[in-house]
Structure 1
Amino acid sequence: MLRVAWWRGRTTDAVARATAFHARLEIRFPVITRLVDRLVSVNIFDSATRIAAQCFLTAVPLLFVVGAYAPAAVRDQLSASVSAVFGLTGAAQHELEQAFRPPTDELRQATGLVGGLMVLLSATAVSRAMQRLCKRAWAIPRAGTRMAPWRWVAWIALWFGLLVLQGPIRDGFGVGAWLGIPITLVTQTALWWWTQHLLLGGLIRWAPLLPGAAITAVAVTGLSVTAHFYMPRALNRALAEYGSAGSVFVLLSWLIVVCVALAISVSVGAVLSQEPFLTRRLGTSVTAPDTAGRQ
């Protein structure tokens, strides 16, 4: 009994010290404490893992549908863009080319309507997961915030179009990487600015969304540059040692890293936009939830 009482007392003291430390941090560094609280409420790793898994589950049927029905020019451009995103070489490049090889009648018959429905369902699942992340980052309550389904489809359509154009963008439209990286940064900023506004249903004005979009663009662009050094070696090694299963693990792990960066960046942007200094300049405000159901 004495030992139990002693441990109970130690636990109570530790909780009290932690609470007092948190209170002191709130007074001295309010931005940091609000950011930590927001990251905890967003549940960064859980949200990122869900989005990464949904992205991967969308990519697999999408490859079959694009390979079966897309025009040759679209298939070639998408293959080149995916290769440019990851800097693929060797065995990984060969596997990608096999995925986008000219379709056969058997492939078209096997894909059919079921494949198209799988892509659509998986794609809207990604959109919904990203929407939940944006709402949590901006601390928007779920009740009364119904969103029109067309927003999910529009987001996926723009993302697919941007993915097809990644090759020319990263190459600076033939000029070189020195121009491609700034173009990528500007493009990603515009994309994530629009993404937040679209998936939040206009609850947040455009200006307060800009810090999160800019931070996300920097994070994504930095990871895309890093991917050129890491992904080719990792994928080729995984294919040589474990086959296709190894490449699945590498791709999913990389997607989780990217999604964690996205979740942190959007949350940091939301917290900064709600700080007094930026609130006065950006006019940060949240529309009443009941107005979102009509959008």
Structure 2
Amino acid sequence: MKPSTAGNRSSPLRRVRRTVSRSPVGRVWRRSSELGLGQRALGFAALGFLTLVPLLIIVSSGDPKQGQGFAQWLGEGLGVSKAAREQVEKLFIGPGQALRTTTALGIAALAVFGLTFGAAVQSGYEKVWDLPPARWLARWRHVVWLAVLTGYLFFSATTTLRREPLAGGAVASLSAVLFLWWSQRLLLGGRIRWRALFPGAVVTVIGLLGLRVFSRFVFSPLIASSTVTYGPVGTVLVIQSWLVGVGVVVFGGALAGRLLYEDFSRMAHALKRRRGNAAP
């Protein structure tokens, strides 16, 4: 009787595990492990910090009338409190000084890191869709993507719509969906259809909005405590952690979008077949 009782007890547990494994959450978790989501997010954060932070400091310095530079934009992008935002702004120099102190060697280093950053994002998207790596002739896509990314972030940092919460939020969300949608299509070399990439763009934007809320309640007090404990280095660590979260959302959103698209396609195909069988 004891083996039978143990079997009865383990059977419901086994069914629950099987149900969770087959659910969308379980499939996302399993595919995330296969993707190496954590490692890719760390690489995204490291290259993003080396590329985007210096590049956007220089670019935002070209329009000092619209704002106070990259530091203010980063503080608003993090979604942290005013006190934490002031700690972020202390890390960066003024807009005018960035242009005066930039050298050709520094710009060349940014270009190298930028192309590597684009290659890392492309590799993550290819892994999401189980595609082979693109040929080296497709490296021009990294240049185009980095240029458009810089222009997009500069526009979002300097546009006056960000001062209007409702209209600015709607425009920012729509533009982010369009940019991410186009980014996947470009970096994947057109090997995946537009309609298959759209859910990933939407899920990524939703994830970024959730990360902003998370930053408000977690990263904001963490910046204050880290600054007291470690000084300015503590703020840098929090920013780096935020970039890791962005990397998780970018690749995880694309993966969740693929699974959603496959589920919708499977349901639509089953419904179409059912209608065909019911037709006289």
Of 257, 266, 274, 1:277 maps to: 266
CA distance in 1, matches of 2:18, 2:244: 30
Out of 151, 155, 158, the residue aligned to residue 141 of structure 2 is 151
The residue that corresponds to 2:46 in the other structure is 53
Counterpart for residue 239 of structure 1: 227
Aligned pair in 2 of structure 1 residues 184, 64: CA closer, same or farther (>3 Å)? closer
Give the Cα separation in 1 of the matches to 2:81 and 2:25. 39
- Which residue pairs with 1:118 in the alignment? 109
One-letter amino acid of the structure 1 residue matched with residue 34 of structure 2: S
Structure 2: how far apart are the matches of 1:139 and 1:200?
11
**TM-score with structure 1 length normalisation?**
0.72
Distance 2:92 2:177 in 1: 30
Which amino acid letter does the alignment assign opposite residue 104 of structure 2?
Answer: L
Q: 2:154 aligns with which of 130, 154, 164?
A: 164
2:190 partner SS: coil
The match for 2:74 is 82
Structure 2 vs 1, CA of residues 108 and 179 (structure 1 numbering), >3 Å: closer, same or farther? closer
| SS state at 2:103 partner | helix
Which residue identity lines up with residue 245 of structure 1 in the other structure? Answer: V
Query: How far apart, CA to CA, are the structure 2 residues paired with 1:237 and 1:213?
Result: 34
Deviations 1:158-211 (A, max 9, x none): 222222233566x84543x23333333222211211111011010011111011
Partner of 1:227: 215
Question: Which SS does the other structure have where 1:70 is aligned?
Answer: coil
Match of 2:173 in 1: 185
Question: How big is the shift at 1:63?
Answer: 5.8
Query: Cα offset for 1:253?
Result: 1.2
Extract unaligned runs of 5+ from structure 2: 1-9, 271-280
Aligned-partner residue type, residue 150 of structure 1: W
CA distance in 1, matches of 2:67, 2:158: 14
TM-score (norm 2): 0.76
Q: Which residue of 1 aligns with 2:275?
A: none
Q: Is the 8 A contact 2:57 2:95 kept in 1?
A: no
Aligned residues: CA RMSD: 3.4
Match of residue 126, structure 2, among 122, 132, 135 = 135
Inter-partner Cα distance in structure 1 for 2:212 and 2:236: 18
The aligned amino acid for 1:246 is G
Quick one: structure 1 residues 154 and 189, their matched pair in 2 at CA, closer, same or farther if it must change by over 3 Å? same
Deviation at residue 238 of structure 1 after TM alignment? 1.9
- Of residues 182, 202, 205 in structure 2, which corresponds to 1:214? 202
Letter paired with 1:85? G
Contact conserved, 1:49 with 1:256, CA < 8 A, in 2?
yes
Alpha-carbon distance, 1:124 to partner = 1.3
CA distance in 2, matches of 1:32, 1:94: 37
Q: Which runs of 4+ in 1 moved over 6 A?
A: none
Counterpart residue identity of residue 277, structure 1: R
Preserved CA contact (<8 Å) 2:68 2:95: no
CA contact (8 A) 1:193 1:213 kept: yes
Secondary structure of 1:99's aligned partner: coil
Percent identity of equivalent pairs: 26
Unaligned runs of 5+ in 1: 1-16, 282-295
Displacement of 1:224 in angstroms is: 2.1
| Equivalence for 2:65 | 73
**Residue number among 186, 201, 207 corresponding to 2:189 in the alignment:** 201
